[in-house]
Amino acid sequence: MPLSSHDTVKRMVTGLLTARGHEPDLLLQHLIAIQLAYSYVPEIAVEVLSSVLGVTRSRIRACVDFYAFLHARPRGDYDVLFSDNITDRMAGSEALRQQLTKRLGVRLDQTRGDGRVTVSLTSCTGMCDQGPAMLVNGLAVTALTPKRIERIGELVEAGVPLEHWPAKFFVVEDHIHRAGDLLSNAEKMSAGLQRFLDLGPQAALGELEASVLRGRGGAGFTTALKWRICRDSPGDERFVVCNADEGEPGTFKDRVLLARYPDLVFKGMTLCAGIIGARKGYLYLRGEYRHMLPRLEWVLSRRREQGLLGWDICGQPGFDFDIEIHLGAGAYVCGEESALIESLEGKRGVVRKRPPYPVVSGFQGRPTVVNNVETFLAAARIVEWGGHWFRGEGTQQSAGSKILSVSGDVARPGIYEYPFGTPVSRVLEDCGGTGAQAVQVSGAAGVTLAPSEFSRTLSFEDLPTSGSFMVLGPDRDLMDMTRNFARFFAHESCGFCTPCRVGNRLLEALVEKVAAGKASAYDLEEMRQIGNLMRQASYCGLGTTAANHVRDILDKFPDTFQRRLRPGSDFTPAFDLDAALAAARAITGRNDAGAHLEEA
């Protein structure tokens, strides 16, 4: 894409501001549109945005720096990002990445001299059931094979616009293999909303209370209580936010729910609005799912036409509510609810100090409910069919069912819905993953299970989960997984607090030291200590869970690290003095054996 003149960029940004709005909250959305148009955010765009939105240039630049999908310098005409989750790697993504960079004559992270292409890695893109996957100019390309990579190389060299690439490259499958109560019943468009109007807000909240629905994003907070606190918090304006950031490695069920059941999710948000008294809602959709935006916008406008959104919903005077979609731009921490709200307000996604919690002071300082996609979907079913129906399955503390994203070494990766209380072994049988060496439940932040634990159950009592279920077969080296997770967390830490910012970097370095065969038993103990400190002292869930995988490998799969330790050494320095001096010694010819640490 040629560098554009100042005047062209100015015109484009001015048009954008006129079309979408001048509120500072829209800053991130404007930056995403500018990035898409020019492959970076030119300085002149920063100037125009700053003067029109009244936001300082340094804040805008900080935003560009923070989000992985925004750039201050041009990327190639084709901006290729290989999904770098462990499941992509297990499916051969690294070899495909090398094939493409070789074919195009470009180095990783460097834009080719003619500006045609840049190839980089990105965190999990949520296509684990159909990987290896990549994003090209923000659009998902799935099911990569050497043949497909070769064709992509040809298309890039020939400068073929993405709209003329084979449509099958961009197909994203739903892969629903097991539908339970939530997913198997057809939806009647206005039924839930009509029942809500018949019951009234108080009784509808009562149904939710009777259901004992707990949030499906991972933490499991009681949904009815969250809605009640928000409704009762002082303020004349309230907001509903649907968290579709879905950045946890191995999770993709929210993508499928939004693709297959968008009406149920929007209905759940509308019911929430009716109960808490909100008139505005946001769907925060992760940037990796930009391919879904046109259809979701279409569903919203259809719902407006049907009287299911907008003014006087279902003909009820005063029941007004509408939903806007905001895109994310590649930051895992933006799934954390307070960072998500910062991002919705157009800022860097840095975690807020709490209290106050979002239910009291959230978006624009107003009471705000933030719930996961699956939570809103379940709430819609509950208001329609009743809280007792929902309690009909599950366990004492975990009512209903859980939707899982199953990937890795299994015959049938995809979406599976199970009643809470289902053992891990049952899921493995159904998806064709028996004989697994390990299962990673609830993503990189979750828990690594050994075969002796496969009788444990998916439930808040035993194994709480955001839905990610990654299976590692008997031939996998768990070192690859732990290296991948350590890199991921070091990259994704928002930097707000020291235990997480520094701890994740230290853990990453130590894991790499073990992988390189340079570590001693001392380093393993160091990893454990750092992990404990991060767990106790980090400010949010990212830091408190980031060392889980290291702890689990140390405790349950000790051989993964032990067999790589440098034999016979109690301590090995992280800094390799001999390696650093090698070139100087060669040049000067002063290389006596006694000066080497190894021999000393």
Ligand X SMILES: Cc1cc2nc3c(=O)[nH]c(=O)nc-3n(C[C@H](O)[C@H](O)[C@H](O)COP(=O)(O)O)c2cc1C
Measure the CA–CA gap between 335 and 489, rounded to whole angstroms. 14
Single out the segment in contact with ligand SF4 by CB under 6 A; choices: 6-14, 151-159, 359-367, 540-548: 540-548
Q: Which is nearer to ligand X, 218 or 423 (CB)?
A: 218
For 389-425, the DSSP string reads HHTTSB-SSSBSEEEEEEEES-SS-EEEEEETTEEHH
Measure the CA–CA gap between 399 and 402, rounded to whole angstroms. 9
C-alpha closest to that of 497 among 436, 428, 559, 544: 544
One residue of 249, 274, 446, 543 binding ligand SF4 per CB under 6 A: 543
- The entry of ligand X, ligand SF4, none near residue 508 (CB within 5 to 8 angstroms by kind) is none
* Cβ-based burial of 225 (10 A; exposed 0-12, middle 13-18, buried ≥19): middle
Size of the residue set binding ligand SF4 (CB under 6 A):
14
**Joined tokens for residue 324:** 């806007």
Distance of CA 169 to the CA centre of its chain: 22
Minimum CB distance to ligand X, residue 391 (Å): 18
- The entry of ligand X, ligand SF4, none near residue 131 (CB within 5 to 8 angstroms by kind) is none
Asked whether 427 and 404 are in contact (CB, 8 A), the reply is yes
- The entry of ligand SF4, ligand X, none near residue 362 (CB within 5 to 8 angstroms by kind) is none
Measure the CA–CA gap between 138 and 75, rounded to whole angstroms. 12
One residue of 169, 282, 284, 539 binding ligand SF4 per CB under 6 A: 539
Minimum CB distance to ligand SF4, residue 496 (Å): 4
Minimum CB distance to ligand X, residue 253 (Å): 10
Asked whether 388 and 208 are in contact (CB, 8 A), the reply is no
Q: Within positions 481 to 520, which residues make up the interface with ligand SF4, using CB under 6 A? A: 493-497, 500-501
Instruction: Return the CA Rg of the chain.
Output: 25
Single out the segment in contact with ligand SF4 by CB under 6 A; choices: 358-366, 470-478, 533-541, 592-600: 533-541
Q: What angle do CA 110, 116, 118 make, to 5 degrees?
A: 30
- The entry of ligand X, ligand SF4, none near residue 538 (CB within 5 to 8 angstroms by kind) is ligand SF4
Minimum CB distance to ligand X, residue 170 (Å): 23
Residue 296 touching ligand SF4 (CB under 6 A) = no
One residue of 212, 333, 377, 481 binding ligand SF4 per CB under 6 A: 333
Q: Where are the alpha helices (DSSP H) in 538-588?
A: 541-545, 548-556, 559-562, 577-588
Q: Which is nearer to ligand SF4, 211 or 493 (CB)?
A: 493
Q: Which is nearer to ligand SF4, 352 or 366 (CB)?
A: 352
Q: Where are the alpha helices (DSSP H) in 21-145?
A: 27-38, 43-53, 57-66, 86-90, 93-104
The residues of the shown chain that bind ligand X, judged by CB under 6 A, are: 215-219, 221, 243, 245-248, 333, 335-337, 370-372, 375, 540-542
Residue 169 has φ and ψ, to the nearest 5°, of -60, -30
One residue of 351, 379, 444, 471 binding ligand SF4 per CB under 6 A: 351
Minimum CB distance to ligand SF4, residue 500 (Å): 3
Interface residues with ligand SF4 (CB under 6 A)?
Answer: 333, 351, 493-497, 500-501, 538-540, 542-543
